[in-house]
Structure 1
Amino acid sequence: MDSLHLTPDILLRAYAMGVFPMAESRDDPEIFWVDPRRRGILPLAGFHVSRSLARRIRRAEFQVSFDRDFAGVLSACAAREETWINAGIFELYCELHAMGFGHSIELWQDGDLAGGVYGVALGGAFFGESMFSRRTDASKVALVYLVDRLRAQGFALFDTQFVTPHLRSLGAQEIPRRDYRRLLSEALARPARFDPDAPVPDPQLVLQRISQTS
């Protein structure tokens, strides 16, 4: 499918059915739909923070924000030699952000964007799309704050699409497609709402809340 004919509404319906789009490369205008047999999820009640990561969070090396620079996070995620984010996908997710469905978390250091994550919120499901890191552990710290916010705001599912060693170290796991679709259906029925303007908690509170249910 040519990404020029993909609309935000089609994209949201696809997410609700459990599929997501990718492109072969930055320069390929075509997109294809992905529906993995085994789906990656990050259990919100089973998030693992290592001692070294907890120490880094306590040091408060980063300033944390939400939805402050969605396009900047998306651009950083696409700035790789190999990427599935083409121009059409970039524009579509920026539109989802403008509509209130696309969200980002940014980590800043000395005024520069040091790491971040972006994704799509629909009902009580958050579909993590991509992340990047320009400083040690920046994307992991971003995920800690994102998981804390999703739990605080009533989300039930954090879809990571696939599982990488990076995500597995934080507690991510793979589940069969049928189990994923059941969890997705339950999550979509929840009245959760991603609020980017909610106060960012201090590091100690984040770690305390994460440890209470991990």
Structure 2
Amino acid sequence: MSTHSILGDTDVIDENALPDGGAGGNQTQVPIDSKLRFEDAATGSALLHVAVTGSTPPAGYKSYTEYWSRLGVLKASAITMLSFEFSARQGTPEHAAVLDEWLGNGSVLATDQQAKTGDWIEGVYKPTSPKSALYWALDPDSAGDRRIGLLVELGNADELLNVIWYKTKQPENGLIFQETPIKLAFAKVLDSTDPHKIDNGPWFFYRGVMRPM
């Protein structure tokens, strides 16, 4: 499904540009010990797998850490985020194998899972990477039409370098999602990484520090 073309500085995106999936009507608080999948909305191909550890991760993993594994080239005009619980509970012998399998053979980066309110900075983040792409979605924490942004920074070989989140309101506890949706649809902003192409109001961004696993 195509995204809305952005033509001028005052144009903002219509929510009809979203691919099927919307903000996901069935929302629940996903435990910290969970996993996310970002896939091409048109083909269903995996692009990113994210594993979030809890307080007792297996050997080789750190507690309260997000592990981002790039499995495909991020060139899709629309992506879908899906969230799941792990089949094996943390602290069990099976948990390490489940984590390893989920992250697969992708290039894996790690970043701290916990953020403070003050880590969200008002303004626009200026990408420093060779390539970057901005996606938007309806904010699952809002009953109205607030939006969020997901900016991915990529290297010359399309490797993942960093992920920057945008919200139109600074989260009180630093979390990008108060209630993580089971399914969330993102559409690509064409030819821009400026969140004001999504919405003209104020924006807050969070940029974690990603490091090789």
Question: Above 0.5 in TM-score?
Answer: no
Q: Which has the higher strand share?
A: 2
* TM-score after normalising by structure 2: 0.27
Q: Which has the higher helix share?
A: 1
